[in-house]
């Protein structure tokens, strides 16, 4: 994955659907960092991720509790560090222990404590779109762990956002040789069969039409009638 993946969702449910699909790629020990303004959809994204992890419990923002944990196909540790005054306070939350717990960790406002995070996570940047319900979602793989899944991430995003209809309607299948190739413009329609010797050759313009049979002695009379009078050999 050489650059960020950027998509636009049309509302909260579409954001959840995207996160739920991305959960298919989650592995024990994964870290997801959520970045965005208030109301941009960080908790909504976490709800979708939890749904994709098989969590049935309602996920809410842990703004005051700081940490909430949920049980699913993979357990989920959900952190909100918005109210931390200093970066070092995050260490008291037991980040290392939770990452070693074979669970997935999601941190809202995680960019504010980046110096104490392992340099290996998926950063999800959420921002407002042009419409009030639209959200711009940017996925950035930091470190090898998520970068190695770059192609899988792109595939999931294309599927969820309707990418399966792209190449089929714009690719070579619509503009290929079957429509404009030699079969319709090739030699079969303009070749020798239409303009060859059978229509314009010697049979219509050759000696049979203009030869001696039309202009020879038989049609011009006997030679003695015009030889002396026309300035002959004398």
pLDDT digit string (tens) for 101-157?
899 999 999 999 999 999 999 999 999 999 889 999 999 999 999 999 999 999 999
Q: Is residue 80 part of a domain?
A: yes
More confident residue, 209 or 173: 209
Q: Is residue 215 part of a domain?
A: no
pLDDT over 80 at 182, yes or no: no
pLDDT over 50 at 213, yes or no: no
Range picked from 17-21, 130-134, 181-185, 230-234 for highest mean pLDDT: 17-21
Q: Which domain holds residue 156?
A: 5-162
pLDDT over 70 at 202, yes or no: no
Query: What 8-state DSSP symbol labels residue 143?
Result: S
Q: What is the CATH number of the domain that holds 89?
A: 3.40.50.300
Q: In this predicted structure, what is the pLDDT of residue 64?
A: 86
Domain count along the chain: 1
Q: Is residue 192 part of a domain?
A: no
Q: Is residue 177 part of a domain?
A: no
Q: In this predicted structure, what is the pLDDT of residue 118?
A: 93
Q: Is residue 57 part of a domain?
A: yes
- Strand, coil or helix: what is 68? strand
First to last CA, the chain: 106
Q: Is residue 58 part of a domain?
A: yes
Q: In this predicted structure, what is the pLDDT of residue 1?
A: 64
Q: In this predicted structure, what is the pLDDT of residue 71?
A: 97
Closest-CA residue to 69 (of 21, 103, 28, 113)? 103
Q: Is the pTM of this model over 0.75?
A: no
34 contacts: CB under 8 Å, gap ≥ 6: 42, 45, 46, 106, 107, 108, 109, 110, 124, 126
Rounded to an integer, the average pLDDT of 201-208 is 43
pLDDT over 60 at 67, yes or no: yes
pLDDT over 80 at 189, yes or no: no
pLDDT over 50 at 188, yes or no: no
Q: Is residue 48 part of a domain?
A: yes
More confident residue, 1 or 115: 115
Distances from the Cα of 173 to the Cα of 51, 169, 177, angstroms: 38, 8, 9
Average pLDDT, the chain: 78
Q: In this predicted structure, what is the pLDDT of residue 2?
A: 66
Q: Is residue 49 part of a domain?
A: yes
């Amino acid at each position: 994955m050489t650059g960020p993946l950027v998509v636009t969702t049309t509302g909260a449910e579409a954001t959840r659907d995207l996160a739920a699909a991305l959960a298919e790629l989650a592995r024990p020990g994964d870290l997801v960092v959520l970045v965005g303004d208030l109301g941009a959809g960080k908790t909504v994204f976490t709800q979708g991720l939890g749904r994709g992890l098989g969590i049935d419990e309602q996920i809410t923002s842990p703004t005051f509790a700081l940490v909430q944990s949920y049980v699913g196909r993979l357990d989920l540790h959900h952190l909100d560090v918005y109210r931390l005054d200093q970066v070092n306070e995050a260490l008291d939350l037991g980040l290392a222990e939770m990452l070693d717990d074979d669970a997935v960790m999601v941190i809202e406002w995680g960019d504010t404590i980046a110096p104490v995070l392992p340099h290996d996570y998926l950063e999800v940047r959420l921002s407002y779109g042009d419409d009030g319900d639209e959200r711009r979602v940017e996925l950035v793989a930091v470190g090898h762990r998520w970068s190695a899944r770059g192609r899988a991430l792109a595939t999931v995003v294309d599927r969820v956002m309707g990418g399966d209809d792209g190449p089929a309607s714009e690719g070579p299948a619509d503009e290929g040789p079957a429509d404009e190739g030699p079969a319709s413009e090739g030699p079969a329609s303009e070749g020798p069969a239409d303009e060859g010797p059978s229509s314009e050759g010697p049979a219509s313009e050759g000696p049979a039409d203009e030869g001696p049979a039309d202009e020879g002695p038989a049609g011009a009379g006997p030679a003695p009638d015009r030889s002396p009078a026309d300035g002959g050999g004398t």
